[in-house]
Amino acid sequence: MNRLLYPIVASALITIVPFLLTFEKGQDITRGLIGYEYFALLLLFVFLKDKLPTSLRVACATKQSMFKSLVCVVFLSVIVCALLAVAWLDLQNLLAIKGWATGWYGVLPFVTCGLAIAMMWKVKPFSVSAISFILFVALIAHLFAYNQYAAQPLAQFPLVDYMSRTAPKPVARDSLPESFRAKYFTTDSATITLGFVDSTRTNVLVLVESWGIPLDSNRFAAQLRAFEGIPMQVGAHHRMYSRTRTAEREDLIYSVSRDSTGRRDTIFLPQVLHAQCVKTQFVYGGDSLVQMRNKYIRNMGFEETFFGISANSGVEPRTDRESAALLDSLLSAQDSALRFIAWTTLDTKFPLQGFMDPYKIDVAALDSAYTERLAGTLQLVADLAKKHPEVRFIVQGDHNPILSPLKFQEKFYKRWVPFVVLN
């Protein structure tokens, strides 16, 4: 086992020397004791070095042995170059932290790698299986130690650090900027409807499929133009989960309690309103079996449901225009009953029609189609609000376009959705 100390010390030499020479008093940088990539490359170096013939006469004895020697030399050269490359990247990682130029520090990889190779020259090699086992144990030991004491990791991963440092950084999408918060009301609450429902008149909750807050504030302002001329309050709230089914449930929660056994008991707003003789209705243009709406919608207190035709039957689901016409007929009924209607839209549900193949999607074309369909749905809602000014409309996104291609998802904030209260 003593020979295992040589690659450990050699890899520690390459890792620690540039760190110590660039160390400044007061800095707080965790640094591994050995370089994992160095350790692996040095073990491979010793293995291949042992395959070289001991003399030039033996190397030239036959064409086969000569070819074998040439292959070993090539692979050894590759390993040495890889060792130098990783050491150079490691040095650049250290200098980048401080913003220093390379300068004379550029000689360090050549000096440390040269000393490490000299240390390994007389070391007896390990077998391939032994090398694999050693690297596996070293990785597990590092992870275990790091879990116990993260301030001083056992291993350093220069190549991984470099790739992480130089990788393109995505736009921060987890929180809304102050410019947005200054202009619109924002809340972390997942429940909006309960705070805006008016029990003295008919209310309509509209969950707009895949309507999220875009990073481009001008895009959001353009979407709101559909509601111009209608009394409204605009804001944004945070969804806990990016699922339509969850949005339909969490936004209609009235209260949550637990009984003596600890079992959770949830009361939904439609249940409360139904008990107050308000007519509760639910509209969805798709199949009732999708996400098991045929079961949980009625359990939430909706006494009447209107679903579209199943796409599996060969008939297209009801479009948002058709659902809006149905909603208009419900609001125009002459029974004078107060209503609470929830409508989950469908036109902007991903994958969009015409963009079903995830490997052949033109993101620009997808963006254009989504924008057009969303504008159409919002205009339908605006037209209903204008036609029925006595009805309060609570319009909000169910989630950001989480099921769309990644390039399109990156145009929206994560889990933040808009809401607009009309009339």
Task: Let me know: does 152 contact 30? Beta carbons within 8 Å.
Answer: yes
Strand ranges (E), 239-391: 253-258, 264-268, 279-284, 304-307, 339-344
Q: Write the pLDDT tens digit of every residue in 221-255.
A: 999 999 999 998 999 998 877 778 888 888 888 88
291/341 Cα distance (integer angstroms): 20
Tens-level pLDDT at each residue, the chain (423 residues): 678 888 999 999 999 999 888 887 656 667 888 899 999 999 999 888 877 665 444 455 555 566 667 777 888 889 999 999 999 999 998 888 888 888 899 999 999 999 999 988 888 888 889 999 999 999 999 999 888 887 788 899 999 888 888 887 666 677 888 888 999 999 888 788 888 999 889 999 999 999 999 999 999 999 999 999 999 899 999 887 777 888 888 888 888 877 777 677 888 999 999 999 899 999 998 888 777 788 888 888 899 888 886 545 555 678 899 999 999 999 988 777 899 999 999 999 988 888 877 677 888 898 999 999 999 999 999 999 999 999 999 999 998 888 888 888 889 998 899 999 998
For 64-128, the DSSP string reads HHHHHHHHHHHHHHHHHHHHHHHHHHHHHHHHHHHT---GGGGGHHHHHHHHHHHHHTTPPPPPH
pLDDT at 206: 94
- Phi and psi, residue 305, nearest 5°: -125, 145
**226: left (phi > 0), else alpha (psi -120 to 50), else beta?**
alpha
Instruction: Report the half-sphere exposure of 94 (CA within 13 A, side-chain side).
Output: 28
Residue 342 has a CB neighbour count (10 Å cut-off) of 25
8 A C-beta contact, residue 205 and residue 341: yes
Q: List phi, psi (to 5°) of 196.
A: -120, -10
First to last CA, the chain: 80
The set of residues, in sequence order, having a beta carbon less than 8 Å from that of 191 and lying 6+ positions away, is 250, 251, 252, 253
The rounded distance, in Å, linking the Cα atoms of 66 and 54 is 12
